[in-house]
Structure 1
Amino acid sequence: MATLDEATLALQQLKQRIAEYDYHYYVLDDPLVSDNEYDGVYRELLSLEQQHPHLITADSPSQRVGGLALAAFESVHHRQAMLSLNNAFSEQELEAFDRRVREGTGEAEVVYAVEPKFDGLAITLTYEYGIFVQGATRGDGYTGENVTHNLKTIRAIPTRLALNQPPALLEVRGEVLMLKKDFEKLNQQQAIAGGKLFANPRNAAAGSLRQLDSSITAKRPLHFFAYGLGASEGIPALHSHAEAMQYLADLRFPVTPLRAVKTGAEGLRDYYAEIGEKRGSLPFDIDGVVYKVNAFELQETLGFVSRAPRWAIAHKFPAEEAVTMVEDITVQVGRTGAITPVARLKPVFVGGVTVTNATLHNEDELRRKDIHIGDTVVVRRAGDVIPEVVSVKPELRPADARLFVMPAVCPECGSHIVRPQDEAVARCTGGLICPAQRKQAITHFASRRAMDIEGLGEKLVDQLVASHLVSHLDDVYRLDLPTLAGLERMAEKSAQNVLDAIEKSKQATLPRFIYALGIRNVGEATAKDLAQYFGNLDALMDADVETLMQVNDVGPVVAEAAYQFFQEPHNREVIAAMRALGVHWSDMPRKNQSALFAGKTFVLTGTLPTLKRDQAQAMIEAAGGKVSGSVSAKTSYVVAGTEAGSKLEKALALDIPVLDEPAFMTMLQSSAGLIPPENEIDTLAETSSTQPGLF
């Protein structure tokens, strides 16, 4: 236990630190420390004051509620104080709260109203005879800031109560906050405009509500949830917090659907666990749950301490932010080949778990945050989200801190790492041999629109990879009956069916095989364009970027991705191995660039008298044209059948030529040899990509 002199000095230092933190957090909206650091300092002060209660002074943070009102806003004196809540951080503290309530009320078991603890800005709304006349922040709990004009920009807050005989006075207490998705969008807009980035949704909401120009607040996506009543005159008799919340809901105030009524400490524990599980999926941030004695009569019996009500407590979740050190930075390879820098951290407890790694997203983000190996950083974890580094404490950077340099080759397979043009993410080019991408590559290769290997789905792929039976695509064609039949939940008949599908897939088409390779940004339509342009795989594999860009709809990003894929020796080796194992296809006649439909885009809509969609599409493509699923100014022709609908209407509105089936066939016949023989139409149609909504 500290001596009196030591305690006096320590308390003075702690009060100064907390005052500085409060000023930056509540007044300037620019927090100096994380919530976790603040709570640690505050609890240290409370512990010392409990040991030396005679040292508690009126200026202690334990004797006040919040921050000072901003001088720029008119001060508002609250009719009824907006006090803070005491916090519980453990199950033992929760049980102690329930015990105090039972002892204070004489009840054997207490009923509680429970709700999430929003991480926003507390406000009070004043209504006189049903008209919204004033809105204010909590401030120091007794005097707040008049932000009426700003609150009126929040559409969730009614300006008039939907009552024929509204009460003379109604004060509604609640929280202004910003949804997670809106916060991300706002920060993106701030970054583009070169403005200040907000640390979290709570700061964004507070900064938005405290704008002197309400037109700025109006542009910010703020939300509001009511959580209680203040002073009132002329409202119906209400006997509990649950009744008050229903009354607010009936008045069309937004109230949380997550509120509930629970009995005893066991009920509180269950609710804490339930909301904890939902926390990561909620659209807004919460930092705990709130327990309130439900009956107003019991609340009056319990009363208040100087800082908080005895009948309520906030049960905080484990800290979502913590401070630690970056011991190293490495990279992680994702299932699509994305290379993500990862901070290897000195272990720290945050968000309920011990965190040792945190994502740095990409090289640009790493540079923007100026993260060095050896830095002290703030780490955030919300729910089940992967931990991330929020910010750096540059003042604590050691002299030997080092910049991280992105590797040139993949740590998993040794393939080259490239960063595509106009993309933030670097990628491994070893798609067919990279262990990190193995399952994704095999599953895609076997999918219906690729090589169509029925039965070779995700579960079987997982087993094959886990058993080290398949490492690369060519290994699929080395599987035999005893091997497959020996797998868990794989009978001999099922194994034989898979082998038959594998054997059948050897007779491929060139577009299917190109698509099955999983080249980034190369979908079915692009694979078909590449096959038709080059005619055979070898020509495609040897093409440079400039040549690839001559293909219809292939731009620099796709051309670079295809070029890098085929330049990787490992990928060529896998392709060669599959061909040696019997995978084959017929070369395609190269698309006639001077054909009648070259450079033309068609849209098919409605039901044609004799042609199926795939047949019509195959004819158009054989004539050098392209089929699209939607009508635009770039559409050359619309081929319309019965029940054509909105696409036909749009074509007419844009003055695009419309053809029925006879006119379409006449156009084809006008160029000799463009209509394939009937037995070839179905073959061509099989390689056509199915586009929903064409008919």
Structure 2
Amino acid sequence: MSNHIQQKIENLRDTLHKYNYEYYVLDNASISDFEFDQLLKELQALETAHPEFFDANSPTQKVGGTITKNFETVVHKNRMYSLDNSYSQEDLLDWEKRISKIIEGDITYTCELKYDGASINLTYENGVLVKAVTRGDGVQGDDVTNNVKTIKSLPLKLQGDFVDNFEIRGEIILPLDGFNQMNLAREEAGEETYKNPRNTASGSLKLQDSTEVAKRPLDCLLYQVLTYQNEFESHAQALEKARQVGFKVPETIKVANSIDEVVSFVNYWDKARFDLPYETDGIVIKVNNIRQQEELGYTAKAPRWAIAYKFKAEQVSTKLNEITYQVGRTGAITPVANLEPVQLAGTTVKRASLHNADQIALHDIRVGDEVYVEKGGEIIPKIVGVDLTKRPADSLPTIYATHCPECSTPLVRTEGDAKHYCPNEYGCAPQVAGRIVHFISRKAMNIDGLGAETVELLCKEKLIENYADLYALKAEQIIPLERMAEKSANNMVAGIEASKQMPFEKVLFALGIRFVGETVAKKLAKAFKNIEALFEANLETLVAVDEIGDRIAESIIAFRNEPLNQVLVAKLKDYGLQFSLSEEDLQNQTDTLVGKIFVVSGVFHKVSRNELKKLIEDNSGKVSSSISKKTDYIVAGDNMGPAKLQKATDLGVAIISEDDFLAML
């Protein structure tokens, strides 16, 4: 009897998975909604009566029911990079020229619509969904598996054979019809309507009750498959196979054989996008061949093998009521236009950046003007011009601020710098708070339970004056503060304590040395091994490090020469923060390849391409993307292109195998 019931449950699940796929992916239902609902109710009744046959990927999971109070942070197995943007045909041609210098032979491209929603990374094992993680900062995101399982078009179980273990990435969107219906219902209920589909889709993923998520008509469009054994030759092939096993891969994707075909695709969708059932803000162009993608690799922020073409931003006009000035953590002053509220690209815009004094002068922007506003890259509103026909007769030119709006210190502007700065680095409140907010940020010390508002509150209450003071905080000091409870205070103190384990390069980035970003901090940590060696280095020693120029070197020297910074670093050391590379890191690093430049080309078997590059860098070598007279070695794997081979031969560059390279170490 038990086997019979189990078989009936499994048959119902398979049948409902199939009907879900037909309805939500193929848009070709073979049964009525009523018949589907009856089968689903039958399955729910059987599962309730027989909990021993529970399956986390049953079709019944799509109705929700789980509560998630805290979304666990998960580190991505493969980083989710951003994309470089382009805004013109010339940008695309320049990109083509850049990649043609690195890879040889014919290049084909995939052209895809850039969906405007929330990016998601899905992990499947043996044909079933096991994890769904938001993009986050690209390195780590939030586990939203229970909520994502409610999306009707997303397969919880694949319809056929595919790769055993893989990741697939996509965009969770809210189609326009569904968004409009949601807002209509909210209007009728007397509730405030949602601003735009993108933010609503993103917010839906963080709802605590998955039953509420299930009520929202979310969709999931897939755009990238990541496997571990190079099972596919091309990006388009991987997506086509993914479509066959149940994923909703848009039919709008096209393979282009030339950049001219890419441009034609862009021009077509620049007009046709307004007929789509969902929002899109551009086109993503990718090199189709996966081996060529590997050859091109990544910069610190983006893949070289892909680029986003952004459609021309929507533009509106409105009145400029006032110009105010903001102070950043580095003291940089940013003028801000306070506008008559206006709708732009689905949001209400009240403020826009004016960038700097030169931009104001260039457009002769004045208070009282009717100004043209658009979203730069469709994200940040900016003023792009003035309607001079509507300028008031008594209009006066803008006189840029001369003193800091926060501390009244006279502003300075160095030659060649676009921005004005407040030099009161340690006495100007926004700069003080800004440095602490940077210190606690996810890419720096990643302190849980502490955000920008809390930092401002702690500063206001004189509990902290700098980031070193965080490590002296006690829960009993925090509990009496506004909107604080005992649990929140304890979580904050625990998060601060846990941050002491963050590695040296994170601490170095967190210090907020001007021009020392995340990537530069890693290079400096690797080159100098500890803070003492870094701070003892002179200008000549600093600029000898790869990609460290005079400006960065001078900033490091200025930071270490400031007495207060010396005190802060000493305090942080006493509190136990990591100011040197760990023993494990040091063991993995040698000077074996110092001064040697390598180009990596082809497919490898003992280590992956990325592991091979890391081995080069860990042993003080440098990885280059193109062959030149300066190249010392080409590490050649299978399928190395003949043109690269010829160029290496012509230049007399040594070509070594994977085994030869490993023997070097």
TM-score normalised over the length of structure 1: 0.38
TM-score normalised over the length of structure 2: 0.40
Q: Which structure is higher in RCO with an 8 Å CA cutoff and minimum separation 6?
A: 2
Which protein is bigger by CA-based radius of gyration?
1
